[in-house]
Structure 1
Amino acid sequence: MTIAFLLTTLVVVATPGAGVLFTLSAGLTGGRRAALIAALGGTLATVPHLLAAMTGIAALLHSSALLFDLVKYLGAGYLLWLAVSTLRQRGAFTVDGAGPARSTRQIIVSVLLMNLLNPKLTIFFVAFLPQFVDPHAPGALSRMLALGTVFTVTTLVVFVGYGLGAVAVRRRVLDRPRVADWLRRGFAASFLALGLLLTRAQP
């Protein structure tokens, strides 16, 4: 493992994307529990991508334009659905106990679907990890698994940080309905923008 790998991983994970936005939204609307569950769900979604890269499935997706486009547009469609659902929430964000809380299953399924249908994660594991693994060296598969595990753990730590940060300021946001309303619109616009950017991704 190198400093370059750790720094690049941190930059990739910390850069706000769909998973970060979802975790922030969960922390603001549902509090600590929802934020931690969303962070866990977003992290779990990296595991299938890592396994796919190790077994060669990701390479197939990367080389097949049809499969890549299918996953890409499914992911973009789901982000669009999240944008519309966010906008349809009437009024300001609700505090704990002031509205129906999403179940653990609902939160995890939502964030898992979002990240599983994100081909950019697959591209990351196909194009990024192999640069730090010599495929001809003994134990190459084990090294790839180790590096992927570091990426997954880093994802969890960063997502938890974002989620708890949202929890820390949620009362200030929720006490200002106008601010909360504009924040929800911002989340919806961000999901929409990410969905549009996803449609431009190339294998």
Structure 2
Amino acid sequence: MDMHIWFAYVVTAVVFSLAPGSGMVNSVSNGISYGTRKSLAAVAGLQIGLAIHIVLVGVGIGALVAQSASVFTVIKWFGAGYLIWLGVQKWRDTSTLTTHHADKALPASAMMRKATLINLTNPKSVVFLVALFPQFIDPASEQLTQFLFLGVTTVVIDSIVMVGYTSLAAQMGRFIRSDKVMSKLNKLFGSMFIFCGALLATTKA
């Protein structure tokens, strides 16, 4: 793959990862609640969901989702419902930073599963990848290698961005000790999850 083409893809992928979305909300929320180290499992979960989307696009299922209104609608409503459910749970969350960092914190496996579902149930990622990948793949060259190169690049960039969001949020968390402030933050992130879910629900196939 030509390095100029790869660099153009890197720039595009960075913008895609930095754009506010459910993954960013999850990373920031976890960073404040659990700190950077404990949130790495959730970052890994986001990448598992993203990697599955990349594989789906590679084997052609992504194209089916992009073109089939019924398939898109099923995934869309499941993802929207899950995000709204997460938002409602966050709104009802009364725990503080001290509680989160103690024994009541979610186990790493649970954080990973939740984050995987957040990315996995976002059909916008599939549609975006279906539209994006062909722009950077040379049909005259061996496509599998190009696809793997772009896929690995996407996961690495998104991992770096999500760890950055988590770390920044964790630093903010050090200055947040008030139960009242945490309650407002829980409602803020709950509202953001609900907003992401509502946004998915209004997406056209």
Identify the TM-score tier after normalising by the shorter chain. over 0.9
What residue is the counterpart of 2:67 in the other structure? 63
What's 1:107 paired with? 111
1:82 is aligned, of 81, 86, 108, to: 86
Paired amino acid for 1:148 = G
AA paired with 2:182?
A
- Range that drifts further, 4-13 or 87-96: 87-96
Q: Any conservation in 1 of the 2:93–2:183 contact (CA below 8 Å)?
A: no
Please tell me whether the aligned partners of residues 33 and 101 of structure 2 are also in contact (alpha carbons under 8 angstroms): no
Q: Distance in 2 between matches of 1:192 and 1:176?
A: 24
- Whether the aligned pair in 1 keeps the contact of 2:65 and 2:127 (CA below 8 Å) is no
- Separation in 2, partners of 1:200, 1:96: 33
Q: Does 1:138 align with 2:147?
A: no
2:37 is aligned with 1:7: no
State the alpha-carbon separation in 2 of the partners of residues 27 and 91 from structure 1: 15
Q: What is the alpha-carbon distance in structure 1 between the residues aligned to residue 57 and residue 95 of structure 2?
A: 43
Equivalent-residue separation in structure 2 for 1:116 and 1:56 (angstroms): 16
Change in CA separation of 1:176 and 1:27 when aligned onto 2, cut-off 3 Å: same
Counterpart residue number, 1:151: 154
| Cα shift at 1:41 | 1.1
Instruction: Return the match for 1:54 from 25, 45, 58.
Output: 58
Residue segments in structure 2 that go unaligned for 5+ positions in a row:
none
| In structure 2, distance between residues paired with 1:143 and 1:170 | 41
- What is the letter of the counterpart of residue 197 of structure 1? L
Q: TM-score, normalised by structure 2?
A: 0.92
Deviation at 1:145, TM superposition (A): 1.6
Amino acid at match of 1:114: I
Cα separation, 2, equivalents of 1:56 and 1:97: 42
**What's the offset of the Cα at 1:51?**
0.6
Query: Relative to structure 2, which stretch is displaced further, 35-44 or 78-87?
Result: 35-44
Q: Write the deviation string for residues 26-50 of structure 1: whole angstroms up to 9, x where unpaired.
A: 1111122322111111112111111
Structure 2 equivalent of residue 193 of structure 1: 195
Specify the SS of the correspondent of 1:172: coil
Q: Which runs of 5+ in 1 are unaligned?
A: none
Aligned to 1:201, the other structure's residue is in SS state coil
1:96–1:200 Cα change, 3 Å: closer
